[in-house]
Amino acid sequence: MVNKIRRLTGIKKVGHAGTLDPFATGVLLICLGPATKKSASLMNLDKEYRAEIVLGQERDTMDVTGKVIAEAAVPELDIAGVDAALQSFIGRIEQEIPAYSAAKHQGKRLYKLARAGKEVPRLYKQVEIDEIERLSLEKDRLSIRVVCGKGTYIRTLARDIARKLGTAGYVNTLVRTRVGDYHLADAMTIEAVQAAMKSTEVSQ
């Protein structure tokens, strides 16, 4: 996305303030020119996500793109039990960093090790979960809204929630709806940016 914006605008200095998983959609803050100096502080803003968790399977990537590595029966779930499980993750918690992530170990990206079939070390980090809200619950589908701090892996959270419920799970869809005061409703698609740039060229 950074490369696309760089090509469209002709501005060489372009950066972002927090990556999104390849399968995810939503708010991605792009910084141009002098604004790239603000990227570090923007990364520290809280983030809000909506995720659909499919229950009954676990995948190596912890999302819909991965291979099934485990299956488990989905128990009869009730609203009160699910809400209690969700609330148990509120606060500062320890998360396992996904093997398929851009995190580094000894200078190498974990996802590169995983894709090469090499052993990926188990690494953990502390993250902050501010809010978790149940949006919907079906037999094998749980949709949630999460407000969290920097560096939180929603894929890991989804897997751990499923395990807490006595089953397995992975993220089917993931949308980042907000970063600080920057909301999805105010965001532009790359196509809209491209159209705006063409319109500017024509008007000139």
Whether residue 98 is found in the same domain as residue 117:
yes
Whether residue 32 is found in the same domain as residue 119:
no
**C-alpha dist (Å) from residue 22 to 41, 83, 120, 136, 148:** 23, 29, 20, 24, 19
* Digit-coded pLDDT (tens) for 170-183: 999 999 999 999 99
Kindly report the CATH number assigned to the domain that includes residue 114: 3.30.2350.10
Q: Name the residue range of residue 36's domain.
A: 1-44+186-204
Whether residue 59 is found in the same domain as residue 109:
yes
Q: In the chain, how many domains are there?
A: 2
Residue 201 has pLDDT above 70, yes or no: no
Whether residue 134 is found in the same domain as residue 199:
no
**C-alpha dist (Å) from residue 162 to 17, 36, 37:** 29, 38, 39
Whether residue 106 is found in the same domain as residue 165:
yes
Whether residue 113 is found in the same domain as residue 195:
no
Whether residue 127 is found in the same domain as residue 163:
yes
* Digit-coded pLDDT (tens) for 4-31: 999 988 999 999 998 888 899 999 999 9
Whether residue 123 is found in the same domain as residue 203:
no
Q: Report residue 196's pLDDT band, with 50, 70 and 90 as the boundaries.
A: confident
Active-site residue flag, 46: no
Whether residue 11 is found in the same domain as residue 89:
no
Whether residue 169 is found in the same domain as residue 120:
yes
Looking from the CA of 64 toward its CB, the CA atoms found within 13 Å total 12
* Digit-coded pLDDT (tens) for 142-157: 999 999 999 999 999 9
Whether residue 36 is found in the same domain as residue 81:
no
Of 21, 46, 60, 130, which residue is the catalytic one? 21
Indicate the Cα dihedral angle 39, 41, 46, 48, nearest 10°. Answer: -10
